[in-house]
A and B are shown apart, each in its own frame.
Chain A
Amino acid sequence: MLKLNQVHTAIGGLQIIQNVSLEIGKGEFVALLGSNGAGKTTLFRTIAGVLKPHAGSVTFEGVPIDRLPVHKIVERGLVLCPQGRQLFPELSVQKNLLLGAYPIRGEKKRIQKNLDRVYALFPILRERINQKAGTFSGGEQQMLAIGRALMSEPKMLLLDEPSVGLAPLIVKLIADVISNINQEMDTTVFLSEQNANMALNITQRGYVLESGRCVLDGDCQHLKTDEKVRKAYIGA
């Protein structure tokens, strides 16, 4: 479904992503592990089209997308739920969600159905329909960001560190929701995390990024027992 072939990305002349190749099939649930500054966000922004790779290619469902503008990639069903959430702070919860449905604007019934689905996943959002997103707590903002990303029914969802800075209970809740999105809604999910424990417990396999290079990949059972992964990300 998603394929990266020898992707290189630079920011301001600085090489960040170097020679990353990976492939994710339809319906898969895959982790991207890496510590601070490993390049997870840069890789995701490259896939989403915010950054353009200077070498290599990104294809989605067989179509090259690395030269497309961001909104065209979203229209194809590949949606990034970004680190830092990038919500619209002065707009209400409801409007943030409706903007998430921008690619299917005009399809009232479908939008209402998706809205109900998001409210079912995160009942707290329904209670706060008219509250401004900027006044939310970190956990609530993360829920809203995930909800917003789901509003256009993406075929594939990139989730960039949804657990960062959140209390363990909220992390658990979000992990459950993400699993649910993958299993029940049949959405392919690519999840970036520093929290390897959480990520390896819910995903099927993963890639490990270090200084912009992909240094390891394999299924979760394998990664969990890998000495390097244990040392670097699990702290055991």
Chain B
Amino acid sequence: MELFLQQVFNGIMFGSTYAIVALGLTLVMGILNIPNFAHGHLYMLGGYITFFFIGTLGLGFWPSLVLTLIVLGLLGVLMERIVYRPLTDQPHINAFIAAIGALIFLESLALVVWGPQGLRIPNPYPQNFELLGITIGLQRLLVIIGAITLIFGLHVFMKHTILGTTIEAVAQNREGAMLNGINVNRVSAVTFAISSATAAVAASFLSPIFMLSPSMGAILGMKAFIIVILGGMGSIPGAILGGYILGVIEALGGGYISAAYKDVFAFGALIIILTVKPTGIFGKKEA
């Protein structure tokens, strides 16, 4: 029972990170209609930028988190502006190639600046406490609370502000949005900013627990795609639920079967769910 609870807790922690990253990916895919393959790499860069503020400049955890959010938000705007916007009316394949170019650039950048070896950020909250017989690390709990706060904040923004509603509007009907006086380029930029900033914050929360490496973005990006498909393309609740499901499946599979096969469970779950429901959990009939 303890093992089970411990793994569920870990799963929820990973799931929190997955949910945030997948949520950002879904938002951008909705607006651009093309997959931003570089999304996981923005997460990776967020981790390194946090490292830079804490490890190199010696700032505290919270100021570093806020600064990382701002830096990556601006980077998201820049990426939309120079990588994707010029390709708006071009065939989708061009944007695919641009996305792959962007991810190679970001990974190489991290490699050149910080090197291939893993880096560690000192854990700001190393304390543990016991609950229901399992050990809960404070920083791990913070990952979960941080994610839930972000998700809640995004929900309020999307559903109860006019700027948030324009994101949905552009995703549902780009020309219709323009004809209502919405500046769709600005909405794209805002969406990119939100999606990179939230991915970066997820990385800031998790990086004191796990080593940073330039390749971590590719793995997470791939999983985020799995989650988006699993949850149903373009579905925000799907991305959140999908993230938590994947996290828990991985943790349980890792705990009970073998940690070495952790990633196999992710892909296995994808295949099974898509066999049962080809449009994903929250997918529409004609996605």
Contact = CB atoms under 8 A, between A and B. Distances in A.
A164 B181 CA distance: 25
Given A87-B176, A88-B176, A71 B182 contact: yes
A89 interface: yes
B57 interface: no
A37 B282 CA distance: 39
B168 A148 contact: no
B93 interface: no
Contact of A74 (B165, B169, B173, B179): B179
Contacts, number: 68
Contacts of B168: 88, 90-91
Contacts of A95: 165
Interface size class of B (residues with CB under 8 A): 10 to 19
Residue of B175, B181, B182, B183 ringed by the most chain A CB atoms within 10 A: B181
A103 B175 CA distance: 16
A75 B179 contact: no
Residue of A75, A88, A90 ringed by the most chain B CB atoms within 10 A: A88
A206 interface: no
Contacts of B100: none
Nearest to A100: B180
Contact of A86 (B165, B166, B175, B184): B175
Contact of A87 (B165, B173, B183): B173
Nearest to A73: B181
B94 interface: no
Contacts of A70: 178-179, 181
Interface in A4-45: none
B162 interface: yes
A99 B178 CA distance: 11
A141 B169 CA distance: 16
B173 A152 contact: no
Given A98-B162, A102-B162, A91 B182 contact: no
16 contacts: A50-B179, A69-B183, A71-B184, A74-B179, A79-B179, A79-B181, A82-B175, A85-B176, A86-B176, A87-B173, A88-B168, A88-B173, A91-B169, A99-B162, A99-B177, A102-B182
Interface of B: 162, 165-166, 168-169, 172-173, 175-184
Given A89-B172, A99-B166, 7 more contacts: A70-B178, A71-B184, A82-B175, A91-B172, A98-B165, A99-B162, A99-B180
